[in-house]
Amino acid sequence: MSASREDTAARRPGRGAEPYTLASLVEVAATAFLERGYDATSMEDLSRAAGITKSSFYHHVSGKEALLRGALDRALDGLFGVLAEPAALEGPPVDRLRHIVRRQVEVLATELPYVTLLLRLRGNTETERWALARRREFDQAVASLVREATEAGATHPQVDPGVAARLLSGTVNSLIEWYRPGRVPVPDLVDAVERQVFDGLLGASG
Amino acid sequence: MSASREDTAARRPGRGAEPYTLASLVEVAATAFLERGYDATSMEDLSRAAGITKSSFYHHVSGKEALLRGALDRALDGLFGVLAEPAALEGPPVDRLRHIVRRQVEVLATELPYVTLLLRLRGNTETERWALARRREFDQAVASLVREATEAGATHPQVDPGVAARLLSGTVNSLIEWYRPGRVPVPDLVDAVERQVFDGLLGASG
DNA sequence: GTCTATAATAGGATAGAC
DNA sequence: GTCTATCCTATTATAGAC
């Protein structure tokens, strides 16, 4: 762990701005976790990124795990919010799937650090296992839709729907590995992922 | 980190078997890293998994980073080996791409712990940055092929080839998130990924 | 080659002054 | 709210006996 740790710009709340809130510190933490990984990021790193000492940092937050939990909550809220949208609940399976994929890309893009944290969990603590369980719920909802779509004859039947669903989720989630805000306009990204997922590289339609 | 750490079965070299080699310990380490993550796995965990004490473990290996390096070497050898195969070097871009995707799935499946480690790197140490640079080389070779295929008119032109290449790699690499040996026969997996990547979920051909 | 014991340090968390 | 100083445990790594 010899990498420079000064590259995250320190930022204190400006004159007259809000004091440190859990949400603002979760944001700082998630950004740092995104760069170096959760385990490799120390509380010292985080406090410096927030522009205060480690002790002061502890005055605002109970510990590292609380930051993790706050970030995971935000990620899961975003994802489950998509499942609750009307267009995800009504209509032919393929249309609902299309809507979910498109909105999921938007959530990944806008909540990038939080979702990244969720997708990199290994289940080492109780908090992590809880979040992983919720994530599995989300994946299973998507998998059910893929199965329905296959039963309705909308997808090619040669591939096991369970495997197809995992590859679909994998394609969408892989965004966290390279997408960074501003690089590609989100609407373009949404279209690209939809196309790749439903039509593949060779895509007949369009 | 309160998770049980006794779940990895201890294994010592059997009577008359080879003594501990770097390769055998790298194998033990990579398997443990796959479960808990690199940072969250201690040398104590690793030595116990190998069936000896931490001190004895250090007698065979210089440190944690050497194990990481050994595992990354193996992953990169597998991937670059694919690029060097005749079918990856000759023929129309789409055919070469198809071959690489299929073989890459096989390498991921057979070298799962090693490739997983490679794909989860954050670049925190010099070793990690070196491996990430080599990985980028591989990805760029694939991206070049996607660009060639697009220029040859083989793929639909609406999606930026750079983005398409990243989504392609993302789909293939996402295997490490769920594939475990024995669950799905490798040939089926290879076919499923090829289909998803080139034809998508709705896939016209076949 | 394996062990017990121990160094050396990093990192999470707290005490208490200001 | 912020700081300096400190505690305490986990972890990497080494010393030296057998």
CATH of the domain at B144: 1.10.357.10
Q: How many structural domains compose chain A?
A: 2
CA distance A27 to A117: 12
pLDDT tens for each residue of B145-190: 999 999 999 998 889 999 999 999 999 999 999 999 999 999 999 9
From B154, B173, B192, residue closest to A163, measured CB to CB: B192
pLDDT tens for each residue of A163-193: 999 999 999 999 999 999 999 999 999 999 9
Is B29 in contact with B71 (CB distance < 8 Å)?
yes
pLDDT score for B11: 67
- Examine the domain organization and report whether B56 and B133 are in the same domain: no
pLDDT tens for each residue of B45-87: 999 999 999 999 999 999 999 999 999 999 999 999 999 999 9
Q: Is B87 exposed, middle or buried (0-12, 13-18, 19+ CB in 10 A)?
A: middle
Q: Is B196's pLDDT higher than 70?
A: yes
CA nearest A50: which of A64, A22, A29, A66? A29
pLDDT score for B3: 45
- Examine the domain organization and report whether B103 and B156 are in the same domain: yes
pLDDT tens for each residue of A101-133: 999 999 999 999 999 999 999 999 999 999 999
- Examine the domain organization and report whether A85 and A161 are in the same domain: yes
| Chain centre distance of CA B199 | 24
pLDDT score for B2: 41
User: What domain range includes position A50?
Assistant: 22-61
Q: What count of other Cβ atoms lies within 10 Å of the Cβ of residue A82?
A: 21
- Examine the domain organization and report whether A50 and A77 are in the same domain: no
CA distance A19 to chain B (A): 31
- Examine the domain organization and report whether A104 and A44 are in the same domain: no
> Which has more confidence, B14 or B25?
B25
- Examine the domain organization and report whether B57 and B154 are in the same domain: no
Q: Which amino acid is at B34?
A: L
Does B7 fall in a domain? no
- Examine the domain organization and report whether B35 and B98 are in the same domain: no
User: If you write DSSP's letter for every residue of B94-140 in order, what string do you get?
Assistant: HHHHHHHHHHHHHHHHHTHHHHHHHHT----SHHHHHHHHHHHHHHH
Nearest-Cα residue of chain A relative to residue B136: A178
- State which nucleotides on strand C lie below 7 Å from a protein beta carbon: 1-5, 10-16
* Residue indicated by tokens 């004490």: B53
Does A106 fall in a domain? yes
Does A132 fall in a domain? yes
- Examine the domain organization and report whether B78 and B53 are in the same domain: no
Tell me the pLDDT band of B205, cut-offs 50, 70 and 90.
Answer: low
User: Which pair of tokens denotes residue A17?
Assistant: 């701005």
- Examine the domain organization and report whether A75 and A177 are in the same domain: yes
Q: Is A205's pLDDT higher than 80?
A: no
B94 neighbourhood in chain A, CB within 8 Å: 202
From A154, A159, A203, residue closest to B192, measured CB to CB: A159
Q: Is A142's pLDDT higher than 70?
A: yes
User: Which pair of tokens denotes residue A205?
Assistant: 């339609």
Nearest-Cα residue of chain B relative to residue A163: B192
CA distance A204 to B202: 10
Does A1 fall in a domain? no
pLDDT score for A12: 73
Q: Is the CB of B179 under 7 A from strand C?
A: no
Q: Is A2's pLDDT higher than 60?
A: no
Q: Do A125 and B3 touch (CB under 8 A)?
A: yes
Q: Is B36's pLDDT higher than 90?
A: yes
Does A4 fall in a domain? no
CA nearest B175: which of A166, A58, A198? A166
Last residue of a domain, one of A5, A34, A61: A61
The CA distances from residue A124 to A19, A39, A58, B116, in Å, are 32, 11, 23, 17
CA nearest A189: which of A77, A142, A197, B143? A197
Does B156 fall in a domain? yes
- Examine the domain organization and report whether B38 and B90 are in the same domain: no
Tell me the pLDDT band of B4, cut-offs 50, 70 and 90.
Answer: very low
Q: Is B192's pLDDT higher than 50?
A: yes
Q: Is B113's pLDDT higher than 70?
A: yes
Tell me the pLDDT band of A15, cut-offs 50, 70 and 90.
Answer: low
B200 neighbourhood in chain A, CB within 8 Å: 195-200, 203
- Examine the domain organization and report whether A145 and A176 are in the same domain: yes
Q: Is B109's pLDDT higher than 80?
A: yes
Does B17 fall in a domain? no
CA distance B115 to B33: 11
Tell me the pLDDT band of B19, cut-offs 50, 70 and 90.
Answer: confident
Q: Do B168 and A122 touch (CB under 8 A)?
A: no
- Examine the domain organization and report whether A42 and A56 are in the same domain: yes
The CATH number assigned to the domain holding A54 equals 1.10.10.60
Does B3 fall in a domain? no
